[in-house]
Amino acid sequence: MTTTKPRQDRRGAAPIAVLAVGHAAVDLYQGVVPALVPFLVAERALDYRSAAGVVLAATLLSSIVQPLFGALTDRWAMPWLIPAATVAAGAGVGLAGLFGPYALVCAAVALSGVGVAAYHPESARLARAASGNSHTRMGWFSLGGNVGFALAPLLVGPVLAVGGLGATPWLAVPAVAAAVCTAPVVRGLAARSAAASAARGGGGRDDWPGFLRLSAVIGCRSVVFVGLSSFIALYAGQRLGTGGAAGTAALFTLFAGGAVGTVLGGRLAARWGRVRTVRLSYAAAVPAVAGLLLVPGPALYGFAALVSLALYVPFSLQVTLGQDYLPSRVGTASGVTLGLAVSVGGLAGPAIGLLADHVGLRTALAPLAVLCGLAWLLAWGLVEPTGAAAEGGAGPVAGEREDAGEALGRP
């Protein structure tokens, strides 16, 4: 009897591991776009506003169509969409460096953004079904995306340093490999996802006020994170005076800290509950962002890591909260929450860039600390969802604690 549960845990963990790898490949291309910005500035002589426009092109259309994909997956299971979307995300980035005209560059990264948008709602549904409502396992799924984000500057820097923007087709290779690896697994998870969605749909009513408040919190986070990810490489180069290497290191730190934060978020939610963890995270983000902008010297890297932790601890928790606030519309909830994670920030990016052109980059980024405070205030109105869909989500249930300890390699 003592060997049955670990064997079941390992069997349940295997699909999450595969989905996490696929998630890493897709979110790699979200990280590639801001990592391309310094190279576009150098080779195409873009100003801050135009550079932010490239990031906007990758996020605006994505944010519009992602809830639509979510609504579609509420009506029909679409496992084939996951590998297809992965390939599209890579293809757009692969084409971006081959085009000279600015409009075509934006169109290419927009294609990548649509691929990212198509991927997330269905993959979030499958991951929730495979996780068995475990916050820790959902954290591992989200960790895959954060790892992809973190690897983006490490991939882009060497490839484009050698081949310039004309080498961007090589950046599409991870997408093709991930699509081949994940296609057989997602097909097998479709039936489990349908059963889980049916169970959640019958287990509670949709809480639209709670979902809208959560969406406002995510919107604030989006502006902060996308604003920093778009400009931290340029900001670090200016502050430390070491050029592109300092910027790449700062961007990597911002993304890599998110990998740790996502896993930590699952463990903290198992002990304290999701809502309390979200509140504490945004409270910590306020001094972290202020330190990033105000403290001089290499301490910038330490504050970048703290900002990343604070912004990523609540990331996967917000996804499952959204799903539990709308138990009959899990795909729509996933599409909106994941779409808002990048869309609002993408819309604000050009405004930050325009302001930076006039008053300097540090001054333009200063309001981001205020937005962290606003997210914290909004989070005080959130409550843990009740009902079958939120099972195991309100606090430290025994099974979740055990799973969290196993996932982190602790007794």
Q: What per-residue confidence (pLDDT) applies to 289?
A: 94
3-state DSSP percent of the chain in helix, strand and coil, to 5: 85, 0, 15
How many of the other CB atoms lie within 10 Å of CB of 25? 27
284: DSSP letter: H
Q: Which of 181, 160, 183 is nearest to 171 (CA)?
A: 160
Q: Which fold has domain 4-407?
A: Growth Hormone; Chain: A; (1.20.1250)
Q: What pTM does this model have? A: 0.71
Q: What per-residue confidence (pLDDT) applies to 192?
A: 62
Q: Which of 181, 203, 391, 378 is nearest to 275 (CA)?
A: 378
DSSP for 151-200, please give it: HHHHHHHHHHHHHGGGGGGGGGHHHHHHHHHHHHHHHHHHHHHHHHHHHH
Domain residue spans of the chain: 4-407
Sign of the dihedral through C-alpha 257, 259, 263, 268: positive
Identity of the residue numbered 7? R
Tens place of pLDDT per residue across the chain (411 aa) = 444 444 444 555 677 888 888 888 998 888 888 788 778 777 776 777 777 778 777 777 777 787 788 878 777 778 888 899 999 999 988 888 788 788 888 888 889 988 988 888 888 778 877 776 676 777 778 778 778 877 887 888 888 888 788 888 999 999 999 998 888 887 777 666 555 555 544 456 888 899 999 999 999 998 998 889 888 888 888 877 666 677 878 888 887 777 788 788 888 888 888 999 999 999 999 999 999 998 878 888 999 999 999 998 998 889 889 888 988 787 788 778 876 666 677 677 778 888 888 888 888 999 999 999 999 999 999 998 875 444 444 443 333 333 333 333 332
Identity of the residue numbered 96? A
Q: What per-residue confidence (pLDDT) applies to 356?
A: 86
Q: What per-residue confidence (pLDDT) applies to 323?
A: 83
CA–CA distance, 318 with 178 (Å, rounded to integer): 26
